Amino acid sequence: MSAPATAGEAEVLLSALIRFNTVNPPGNERPAQEFLADHLSSAGFDCELLGAEPGRPNLVARLRATAAGDGGPTLCYLGHVDTVLADAADWSHDPWSGDIDDGFLWGRGALDMKSQVAAEVAAAAALGRSGWRPARGELLIVTVVDEETGGALGAQWITETHPEKVRCDMLVNEGGGAVFEYGGRRRYGVCCAEKGVFRFTVTTDGVAGHASMPGMGDNALLKMGPLLDRFAARQPSYRLTGEPQAFLRGIGEDAGDPQAAVAHMRAADPRLATMFEPMLGVTFTPTRIRASEKINVIPSRAELKVDCRVPPGLGEKEVREGIAEVLGGDGDWRMEFTERVVGNRSPTESQLMDAITGWIAERDPGAEVVPVILPGFTDSRHFRMAFPECVAYGFFPHRHQSLLQTAPLIHGADERIDVRDLALATELFGDLATRLLG
């Protein structure tokens, strides 16, 4: 497999994928999926398009071991082809152009995550065309729809409806890999876990009245003021689980003193603290408030919606303790959970982690790999739920375009990827397959 030729193939694939408008909703991913299926079929992969809706199929492409009945592992490269909306007026390049300019490939999905799909498919197709077949197990390419709105038609649907088609032992998906510098060292985060969601509503009660006479009623909305002040003043205390402890040790900080570690991060670069501090415990973010339905009525009830994210290993008990810590144990308010989804994780030590760590050591001597928790979630959660023994990581290496440069572009204007990083990732996906499958 020629690395420069494969990198060029990834660029062609990514430009083409960006030109398919797969904004979700409505998605309309079928043309992009058929394009990828044709590319992989011509390289020797067995391809299927499976979907809950005709216009939104998921692609499953398989390259099996040469030995019949081989019982080796299944390595899956996962990606999604839908994107969020883009407003062309905010961009310096057409978000559907796939243009290459100034060393970057531009367009919606260039980072999230058509680039990873292109790199995975280019690497896999190059292996297939070369005549390579796994000595054991199989290589699985799964590109899904509907990730940006939760995966009900994509990863969730296919793992629940056709688990036998996508069962895997090791999985590489989005969620990590962009380099960051800390303490004079270069580090690459491997996403080993994702936070859960324990959203809740805080309600205050009062007495309705005519708004022309403020003292006539008991305004429930005003009672929200002190609560909002408390949410603004602090987050719950840190509660370190295994992954953030390993992360802090990996960047040279004392896992037993997270306050000092965060202070050091803020001093080094406040942006790093913004991105990494949420890994260290439960977080609360008020996002919506609702009170009177009419402008001239004093509200008898006000509701505040709070987005709460919880590391895997923690749950409702820790959320309630955090609420008591931030808002106080007693008060003229009540709380009710509206959503409970526990976090998900994979072991930080595995054959897959060893392969990624070894590859980074070869390509970027002196750099280190550290486990991270994603504050949000990806399609990995559906695979971890369906296949508890599957080791799933988020990793797409960026050496030239750092984490601090890529993070603001995801879902933002002028989304773009350094073509050198696209080439680097393509090389990774080709090498991981041969290292893990023989």
- Among all residues, which ones are annotated catalytic? 82, 147
3-state secondary structure of 358: helix
| Main-chain dihedrals φ then ψ at residue 185, nearest 5 degrees | -125, 150
Tell me how far apart the alpha carbons of residues 154 and 143 are, in angstroms, rounded to a whole number: 9
Position 308: which residue type?
C
What beta strand segments (E) does 349-408 contain?
368-374, 391-394
Q: Which residues pair with 59 in a beta bridge?
A: 49, 143
User: Do 163 and 101 contact (CB within 8 A), yes or no?
Assistant: no
| Main-chain dihedrals φ then ψ at residue 141, nearest 5 degrees | -110, 120
Tell me how far apart the alpha carbons of residues 381 and 417 are, in angstroms, rounded to a whole number: 26
User: Do 10 and 423 contact (CB within 8 A), yes or no?
Assistant: yes
Q: Which two tokens stand for residue 84?
A: 């969020």
Helix (H) or strand (E) holding 168: none
The residue to which tokens 């083409």 are assigned: 16
Q: Which two tokens stand for residue 142?
A: 């799964």
Tell me how far apart the alpha carbons of residues 159 and 157 are, in angstroms, rounded to a whole number: 6
Tell me how far apart the alpha carbons of residues 233 and 423 are, in angstroms, rounded to a whole number: 44
Other Cβ atoms less than 10 A from the Cβ of 234: the count is: 10
Contact residues for 280 (Cβ-Cβ < 8 A; gap 6+): 238, 239, 240, 244, 258, 262
Tell me how far apart the alpha carbons of residues 23 and 92 are, in angstroms, rounded to a whole number: 19
Q: Is 328 left (phi over 0), alpha (psi -120 to 50) or beta?
A: left
Q: Which of 310, 265, 308 is nearest to 403 (CA)?
A: 265
50-87 core/surface letters (b: 16 or more CB in 10 A; e: else): ebbeeebbbbbbbbbbeeeeeebbbbbbbbbbbbeebe
User: Do 166 and 76 contact (CB within 8 A), yes or no?
Assistant: yes
Q: Supply the angle between the helices 30-41 and 3-19 in degrees, to the nearest 10.
A: 160
